[in-house]
């Protein structure tokens, strides 16, 4: 959808540019011809031989036609070339997105199977618990990365979000519970969320919360991770405040929420925070990453629009 709008805007811009070139060429040619005819008339009044004036005028006219036509054709050719290059880039981008979407989709099934088998082995006390925990953790991380890549490919490919009234509190509880069920002794969550109804896409909200949780898990560097989630009403909607008990980030130069932007110590690809930002934007919301502003932890503020009937 988004890509179609871009293509339509590019096509309209190209048409406007061609019309502008044609209008400019017509105006330029008319102006030159008008002044050339005036020059011939003045030469006749000054007594210059009529045949010589007409001959000069004929040469000038041919010169104007050839030069003007050449410039006009070159401009049109460059316009067509630029549009063709843009269209080829769009097709290539779509093919790459389709490839990654297909790849990540094919990887999800075996990864899910691996995770279930690892969980079954963890419950069996005969095996090395440390190695099995590591296997399960790596499988979960890989599965999460695949899901993140699939969601990014879907969003960048113009996939639609289905905005509907969503009760924020139960959705957050359900998502966080699923995130911490494998780490019950490592993570605690302090929730102060009002039971409000916002306009959002359920899957998108779950993806956002999972990315925030995994970001805290990866970068807090503490044995006991504490996550705080709260809400604050605003005239534009509802702010969802998220933070952890990390040491904070001192680097103020990083533009969080931009694709492939990440901290120096980050082991990620810089996709998670960008995905959060783009999903909130697609839901008509806002994202504020306040890390690097002398705040403890990694505070993130998300503004959701209220549901229309609330």
Give residue 241's pLDDT.
93
| Rounded CA Rg of the chain | 31
Give the domain range for residue 147: 103-156
For 72, the token pair is 């006009």
Quick: pLDDT tens for 99-151: 666 666 666 676 777 777 777 776 766 666 666 667 766 777 777 777 777 77
Quick: pLDDT tens for 41-84: 766 666 655 555 566 667 766 777 777 778 778 877 877 787 78
Same domain, 302 and 200: yes
Angstrom CA distances, 193 to 71, 78, 96, 170, 197, stand at 65, 57, 40, 9, 11
Give residue 51's pLDDT.
58
Number of domains in the chain: 3
CATH number of the domain where residue 195 is located: 3.30.565.10
At 242, the pLDDT band (50, 70, 90 cuts) reads: very high
Residue 8, pLDDT above cutoff 90 = no
Name the 3-class secondary structure at 131: helix
Phi and psi at 49, nearest 5°, equal -55, 130
Let me know if 288 is exposed, middle or buried by CB neighbors in 10 A (0-12, 13-18, 19+): middle
Do residues 235 and 203 lie in contact, with contact meaning Cβ atoms separated by under 8 Å? Answer: no
Same domain, 193 and 227: yes
8 located within any domain: yes
Give residue 119's pLDDT.
72
Same domain, 28 and 142: no
Same domain, 215 and 169: yes
In b/e form, how buried is each residue of 140-169, taking b as 16+ CB within 10 angstroms? beebbbbbbbbbbbbbbbeeebebeebebe
Nearest to 39 by CA among 61, 63, 24, 65: 61
Phi and psi at 251, nearest 5°, equal -75, 110
The rounded distance, in Å, linking the Cα atoms of 237 and 169 is 15
10 located within any domain: yes
The rounded distance, in Å, linking the Cα atoms of 277 and 288 is 9
The rounded distance, in Å, linking the Cα atoms of 264 and 278 is 23
Classify 47 in phi/psi space as left (phi over 0), alpha (psi -120 to 50) or beta. Answer: left
**Runs of H (alpha helix) within the chain:** 2-45, 50-123, 129-156, 168-180, 202-219, 272-282
Top-confidence residue, 219 or 275: 275
Q: Which of 93, 117, 146 is the last residue of a domain?
A: 93
Same domain, 10 and 63: yes
Same domain, 84 and 125: no
Top-confidence residue, 141 or 20: 20
């Amino acid at each position: 959808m988004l890509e179609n709008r871009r293509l339509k805007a590019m096509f309209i811009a190209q048409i406007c540019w061609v019309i502008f070139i044609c209008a400019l060429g017509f105006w330029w040619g008319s102006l030159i011809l008008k002044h050339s005819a005036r020059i011939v008339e003045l030469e006749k009044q000054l007594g210059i031989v009529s045949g010589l004036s007409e001959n000069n005028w004929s040469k000038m006219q041919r010169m104007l036609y050839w030069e003007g036509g050449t410039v006009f054709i070159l401009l049109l050719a460059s316009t067509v070339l630029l549009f063709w290059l843009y269209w080829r880039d769009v097709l290539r981008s779509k093919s790459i997105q389709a490839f990654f979407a297909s790849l990540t989709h094919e990887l999800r099934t075996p990864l899910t199977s691996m995770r279930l088998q690892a969980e079954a082995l963890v419950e069996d006390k005969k095996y090395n618990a440390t190695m099995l925990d590591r296997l399960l953790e790596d499988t979960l991380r890989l599965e999460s990365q695949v899901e993140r890549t699939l969601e990014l490919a879907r969003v960048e490919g113009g996939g639609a979000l289905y905005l509907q009234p969503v009760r924020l509190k139960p959705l957050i509880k359900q998502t966080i519970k699923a995130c911490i069920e494998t780490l019950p002794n490592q993570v605690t969550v302090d929730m102060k969320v009002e039971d409000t109804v916002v306009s959002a896409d359920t899957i998108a909200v779950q993806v956002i919360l999972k990315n925030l949780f995994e970001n805290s898990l990866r970068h807090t560097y503490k044995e006991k991770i504490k996550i705080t989630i709260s809400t604050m009403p605003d005239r534009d909607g509802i702010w969802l405040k998220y933070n952890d008990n990390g040491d904070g980030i001192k680097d103020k130069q990083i533009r969080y929420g931009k694709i492939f932007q990440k901290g120096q110590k980050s082991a990620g690809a810089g996709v998670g925070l960008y995905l959060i930002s783009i999903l909130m934007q697609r839901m008509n919301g806002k994202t504020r990453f306040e890390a690097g502003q002398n705040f403890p932890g990694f505070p993130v503020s998300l503004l959701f629009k209220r549901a229309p009937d609330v």
